[in-house]
Structure 1
Amino acid sequence: MTENLTHRQKMLTFAGVLLAMFLGSLDQTIVSTALPRIAADLHGLDRFTWVATAYLVASTALVPLYGKLADTYSRRKIEIGAVSIFLVGSMLCGLAGEFGPLPLLGDGMNQLVVFRAVQGFGGAGLFAMAFIIIADLFPPAERGRYQGYTGAVFGTSSVLGPFLGGFLTDQGSDLIPGVAGWRLVFYVNLPLGLLALWFILTQMPALRPAGKPRPIDYLAALLLLTGLVPLVVALQLNRAEYGWTSPVTLGLFAVAVASLTLFVRRSLRHDNPILDFGLFRNHVFRTANAALFLLGGAFLGIIIFEPLFMVNVLGVSATRAGVSLIPLSMGVVLGSLLAGQMVSRFGHYKRWMLGGLVVLLGGLSLLATMPVTVSYRQVLGYLLLCGIGLGPTMPLYTLAIQNAIEPQLMGQATSASQFFRQIGGAITASVLGAILTFTLTHSLPATGAPAPPVVAVSEGPVVPGPGAAQVSPALKAAFSQAISRVYLFNIFLVAGGLLMTLFVPELPLRKSNDSAPPVPAE
């Protein structure tokens, strides 16, 4: 599909795809610092966690569908559609509440929740399509260095997002008089997105899959959505209001199980399924995705719960707690770029995957054994170590999967790797939140202070607490113990990911996109 492209055309297409991915990645962090102001302005404090949850649900549930669309239609059209939906959603989010209550949508906060879901529908494609298009542009033997840049983009956006969100929220009304600063958090996507669209429209080739397009099984797509949406919503519910055994939670899980069961049965019988379950017979696909499921949860566990330790144990401000994640992000950038370059140069990916996980285990072990007296700088060093270990997981598992899969299934296989990483994070965040709350509940009876409920969402945890300056020594000790247990659970996740990675076959990297996988699927 790309034999006649010049290096310049490939690089310009690559730049447009990375810019689009940067938008989606930035949006996961930039909104978090604006949420308190948004909730105050729109009078929706009781619903502000749903601003994050709506995006998470939509961006997770749509990933498999984007993979199938990419295997059926022009990658260029799908990418244009994803960026366009994301930009429309961004504009609507910025306008939420400007015109008062709207029919069907209600007040401004309800509008924002719905419009964030629209953003998520586009955001799902920004991530999935980035890896699919990079696979089209470069053969596996060269792809590592370019996929390494995706980790760098993710790490950079993780640093810039909170700062940019806070700056625009606090200073935006001075920059554009009459416009609430938090609205610029969404409007900032528009110029960047339009620039990405220009690159894609003017420089990106069609990248059509081989063969004639076959009709998509839209009933299966509907079953998939009606299974994944209630599943992710059930995992993100506030356990203080909806416990694991509440009728709402159990009802959502029941709908999810029923719909996903019907989806699997239909997919196994259909001649053109949304997800070809024959992929699971491939040993690389099966073991690498199992590892990604576990590692996606470990990554989210670090970024969600580390700021809680900073605020409630070390007593630093929320701003300094946010700044403390910079070494983690910089470590991800360094680890991702280094691993990608080394794999492209020497051709061995498994040793870098295993080496990164060993480094990550070391960093997590230090986090899990932090005493109450640990210093701020020590924690920064531990986070840098974790980031370096996490870096290779961004590009290399996807590369291993793509290298082992037939070209006609590239979209489905690639999107599956993104999906398992995201759904693993959603499930693990919910479990880790339950561990934290359970430990606090059983550690605090003597103090008479109730354990704060935790709502784990993609943009960070919501922990209504007493504030850093008012945390008692007993509460500090309780939080230290609880977060140590969270990181201990994370160690088991990474150890499981390491075990699965040991079973990932090391296959020679193909030097052409048109060649068959090195070994046939099992």
Structure 2
Amino acid sequence: MSHAEVIQALSGLMLGVFVTILASTIVSNALPRIIADLGGSQSVYTWVITAELLAMTATVPLWGKMADLHSKKLLIQLALVLFASGSLIAGLAPDVTVLLASRIVQGIGAGGMGALAMVVMAAMIPPRELGRYSGVFGAVFGVATIAGPLIGGVLVDTSWLGWRWCFLIGVPFTLAAIALLQKTLHLPVVRREVTIDWLGALLIMSGVCTLLIWSSLAGHHFAWGSWQTAVFVCGGVLLLALALRVESRAADPIVPLGIFRNRTLSLAVVASTLVGVAMFGGTVFLSQYFQISLGKSPTVAGLMSLPMVFGVLVSSTVSGQLITRFGRWKAYLVAGSVVMTGSLLLLSTIDADTGMVRLAACMALLGIGVGMLMQNLILAAQNDVPAADLGAATSTLTFARSMGGAIGVSALGAVLAERVTSLFTERLGPAATTGGTVPDVSVLPPELLAVVKDVYGTATADLFLVAAPIAFLAVLAVLFIREKPLSTLTGDERRAREAGPAPESA
């Protein structure tokens, strides 16, 4: 494909990525209105987000494997069709049951886009040139993740739109992405006479779902150290152990275990997991801090996340351009992980009186660190694995980032809840409790409002203090990655060279 054809194909790809990632966070500020209108319970409140995240994370390995076996163009269009269908049903949902089912369909489609987008890019573009494009992809991913609450808040606060447009807004853009890809994406089809290890896929998805369900319920519905935790964790680990056994014996496994012998990939998986914790944790808990500790509205809270959006946008794009120009990438991974860790340490000093300039600077630094890390980790791994395993390697990294985000948010949320409870007890005595609910600052008397703001400011700072050493592990992981010169061949060219015969014409 020529440069012009690549740009045209990427326009449809980026549009699809933006709307599917946006779906994960756009409902966060709309959930109170959604649950009230549909008559849902507090448990449904959590599951509107968790259902989509579960389906997205659990299906990523299967999408990645299918990308190594079937037409990437067909698969990515199938993923977009599933996402558009789920979005349309969610926007018209008459009750919470239909809404949750539609969110699962949305999640399956979003998982396909998350796994396939970078695989398609690697098939079209050599790693030596991929930096500039993956930088743009990282910027799109970061902006969609962080800007979701802002867009959702604006839609809910606009009387002639409402919460249903948090879902419906993605449908026309998804259909446009399908049409663009149909017209502009031209990839050779490599036919391989193999069967998918469905038992392995089922065990992997079951094990992952069990652990994700545990992480979303623990600390809220039962204690982290309870018998329920033991059942979920033991069950999830057992299912994954069985998956490893099945995968090790399968002729063509979903996740080829041999790829983990690749040092770059294994270390990139560790670092991607930690980036997921920092990115999702930063957006979720800073939004709550803005609304409770600083007393901002949902729309204003979304606007306050813009420094992080710009940080991700600028650092992803600039680092990608520099990697393409000079062919060196490790320095950006190290710098990104150091900046991410430093920004979390700075955020651990915030409180209810922190000034906006200082807060914006800390958030911009967090965005810059995440932006330099996120897509460049995938670039480093794609450059170092056999072309036949590009799909599996890319989906494994995407899966690791999603898992880090899901489990990290749950764990950090439990830390926040515990700190809030203990601080309320210190300030107001043993009888003080919020009953596990977030207080409505608009109805609190002034003397209690001051305490609530201070408690949430202190607890959020403590949360980032816990996250900082976790992020430091990412520094250690990327330090041990060996820098390898970037290939000048596309994924399809590398596959042809490794396999011998040329691929069939599409």
Counting only pairs closer than 5 Å after superposition, residues 5-24 of structure 1 correspond to structure 2 as 5-24=1-20
The 3-state SS of whatever aligns with 2:222 is coil
Alignment partner, residue 124 of structure 1: 111
Q: Is the 8 A contact 1:240 1:453 kept in 2?
A: no
Q: Deviations over 1:378-419 (max 9, x none)?
A: 211210111111111121000000000000000000000101
1:235 Cα deviation from its structure 2 partner: 0.7
The 3-state SS of whatever aligns with 1:397 is helix
Structure 1 pair 269–223 and aligned structure 2 pair: CA distance change class (3 A): same
User: In structure 2, which of residues 385, 389, 402 is the aligned counterpart of residue 409 of structure 1?
Assistant: 389
Structure 1 pair 77–303 and aligned structure 2 pair: CA distance change class (3 A): same
Alignment partner, residue 122 of structure 2: 135
User: In structure 2, which of residues 438, 446, 453 is the aligned counterpart of residue 464 of structure 1?
Assistant: 438
Counting only pairs closer than 5 Å after superposition, residues 71-82 of structure 1 correspond to structure 2 as 71-82=68-79
Between 325-334 and 371-380, the greater mean CA deviation after superposition: 371-380
Alignment partner, residue 162 of structure 1: 149
Deviant stretches of 4+, over 6 Å: none
Q: Which amino acid aligns with 1:91?
A: L
Q: Is the 8 A contact 2:82 2:108 kept in 1?
A: yes
1:340 Cα deviation from its structure 2 partner: 0.4
Q: Is the 8 A contact 1:75 1:207 kept in 2?
A: no
Alignment partner, residue 111 of structure 1: 98
Q: Which amino acid aligns with 1:499?
A: L
Structure 1 pair 37–472 and aligned structure 2 pair: CA distance change class (3 A): closer
Q: Deviations over 1:28-73 (max 9, x none)?
A: 2222222121111100032121110100100000011111000010
CA separation in 1, counterparts of 2:295 and 2:165?
31
Structure 1 length-normalised TM: 0.89
1:109 Cα deviation from its structure 2 partner: 0.7
Q: Is the 8 A contact 1:316 1:468 kept in 2?
A: no
What root-mean-square deviation, in Å, do the aligned CA atoms of Structure 1 and Structure 2 show? 2.0
The 3-state SS of whatever aligns with 1:498 is helix
Alignment partner, residue 53 of structure 1: 50
1:503 Cα deviation from its structure 2 partner: 0.3
Ranges in structure 2 where 5+ consecutive residues have no aligned partner: 496-506
Structure 1 pair 121–453 and aligned structure 2 pair: CA distance change class (3 A): farther
User: In structure 1, which of residues 321, 328, 332 is the aligned counterpart of residue 308 of structure 2?
Assistant: 328
Structure 1 pair 206–93 and aligned structure 2 pair: CA distance change class (3 A): same
CA separation in 2, counterparts of 1:42 and 1:262?
40
Q: Is the 8 A contact 1:311 1:468 kept in 2?
A: no
Structure 1 pair 228–472 and aligned structure 2 pair: CA distance change class (3 A): same
Between 330-339 and 316-325, the greater mean CA deviation after superposition: 316-325
1:424 Cα deviation from its structure 2 partner: 1.1
Q: Is the 8 A contact 2:124 2:187 kept in 1?
A: no
Q: Is the 8 A contact 1:30 1:164 kept in 2?
A: yes
Q: Which amino acid aligns with 2:88?
A: M
1:478 Cα deviation from its structure 2 partner: 2.7
User: In structure 1, which of residues 251, 262, 277 is the aligned counterpart of residue 242 of structure 2?
Assistant: 262
User: In structure 1, which of residues 498, 515, 520 is the aligned counterpart of residue 475 of structure 2?
Assistant: 498
CA separation in 2, counterparts of 1:405 and 1:123?
25
CA separation in 1, counterparts of 2:370 and 2:328?
18
Ranges in structure 1 where 5+ consecutive residues have no aligned partner: 98-107, 176-180, 455-462, 517-522
Counting only pairs closer than 5 Å after superposition, residues 219-238 of structure 1 correspond to structure 2 as 219-237=199-217
The 3-state SS of whatever aligns with 2:164 is helix
Q: Which amino acid aligns with 1:10?
A: V
CA separation in 1, counterparts of 2:288 and 2:167?
26
The 3-state SS of whatever aligns with 1:185 is helix
Alignment partner, residue 178 of structure 1: none
Q: Is the 8 A contact 2:420 2:456 kept in 1?
A: yes
Q: Which amino acid aligns with 1:193?
A: T
CA separation in 2, counterparts of 1:117 and 1:90?
10
Q: Deviations over 1:212-239 (max 9, x none)?
A: 2311011111111111112111111162
Q: Is the 8 A contact 2:63 2:115 kept in 1?
A: yes
Alignment partner, residue 29 of structure 2: 33
Alignment partner, residue 487 of structure 1: 464
The 3-state SS of whatever aligns with 1:444 is helix
Structure 1 pair 159–216 and aligned structure 2 pair: CA distance change class (3 A): closer
1:428 Cα deviation from its structure 2 partner: 1.3
The 3-state SS of whatever aligns with 1:51 is helix
Q: Which amino acid aligns with 1:21?
A: V
Q: Is the 8 A contact 2:147 2:302 kept in 1?
A: no
Q: Does 1:96 align with 2:70?
A: no
Counting only pairs closer than 5 Å after superposition, residues 134-153 of structure 1 correspond to structure 2 as 134-153=121-140
CA separation in 1, counterparts of 2:124 and 2:217?
41
Structure 2 length-normalised TM: 0.92
CA separation in 2, counterparts of 1:296 and 1:240?
22
Alignment partner, residue 183 of structure 1: 164
Identity %: 35
1:165 Cα deviation from its structure 2 partner: 2.3
Q: Is the 8 A contact 1:437 1:451 kept in 2?
A: no
1:10 Cα deviation from its structure 2 partner: 1.8
Q: Is the 8 A contact 2:147 2:309 kept in 1?
A: no
Q: Which amino acid aligns with 1:346?
A: F
Q: Deviations over 1:243-293 (max 9, x none)?
A: 224454433323312211110001111121010010110010111111111
Q: Which amino acid aligns with 2:186?
A: P
The 3-state SS of whatever aligns with 2:219 is coil
Between 141-150 and 40-49, the greater mean CA deviation after superposition: 40-49
1:16 Cα deviation from its structure 2 partner: 1.1
1:241 Cα deviation from its structure 2 partner: 2.2
1:453 Cα deviation from its structure 2 partner: 7.0
Structure 1 pair 309–183 and aligned structure 2 pair: CA distance change class (3 A): closer
Alignment partner, residue 240 of structure 1: 220
Q: Is the 8 A contact 2:204 2:239 kept in 1?
A: yes
Alignment partner, residue 69 of structure 1: 66
User: In structure 1, which of residues 274, 280, 293 is the aligned counterpart of residue 273 of structure 2?
Assistant: 293
Structure 1 pair 159–270 and aligned structure 2 pair: CA distance change class (3 A): closer
CA separation in 2, counterparts of 1:366 and 1:469?
32
CA separation in 1, counterparts of 2:163 and 2:115?
28
Q: Is the 8 A contact 1:235 1:427 kept in 2?
A: yes
Q: Deviations over 1:413-472 (max 9, x none)?
A: 000010111101111112111211222222222414645577xxxxxxxx5223167354
Alignment partner, residue 104 of structure 1: none
Q: Is the 8 A contact 1:315 1:469 kept in 2?
A: no
Q: Is the 8 A contact 1:402 1:410 kept in 2?
A: yes
Alignment partner, residue 422 of structure 1: 402
Q: Is the 8 A contact 1:148 1:338 kept in 2?
A: yes
1:119 Cα deviation from its structure 2 partner: 0.5
The 3-state SS of whatever aligns with 2:294 is coil
Q: Deviations over 1:190-216 (max 9, x none)?
A: 11111111012222124434x523110
Q: Is the 8 A contact 1:314 1:376 kept in 2?
A: no
